[in-house]
Amino acid sequence: MQNVTLTVEGMSCGHCVNSIEGSVGALAGINEVKVILDEGLVEVSFDETQVSLDQIKETIDDQGYEIK
């Protein structure tokens, strides 16, 4: 299991949290997704044999948010 913390810009409300947690959480191999809205962070725990960090980042990007 791998854990990463991503800095994500553009998150401002509960809808943003639900959008990211829902879309990333739906990927195969994701163990946990937690958005820390006031800090602009997304913590992800995942099985790197099932999903790549690039796939996670692309999913967040597809929701309209920018990863720093």
Predicted confidence (pLDDT) per residue in 1-56, tens digit: 999 999 999 999 999 999 999 999 999 999 999 999 999 999 999 999 999 999 99
Domain containing residue 27: 2-67
Q: How many domains in the chain?
A: 1
H-state helical runs in the chain: 14-25, 53-62
User: What's the half-sphere exposure (Cβ side, CA atoms, 13 Å) at 6?
Assistant: 26
Q: Give backbone dihedrals phi and psi of 5, rounded to 5 degrees, phi first.
A: -120, 120
Contact between 2 and 45 under an 8 Å Cβ cutoff? The reply is yes
Residue 36, by phi and psi: left (phi above 0), alpha (psi -120 to 50) or beta?
Answer: beta
pTM: 0.93
Q: Which CATH number fits the domain that encloses residue 30?
A: 3.30.70.100
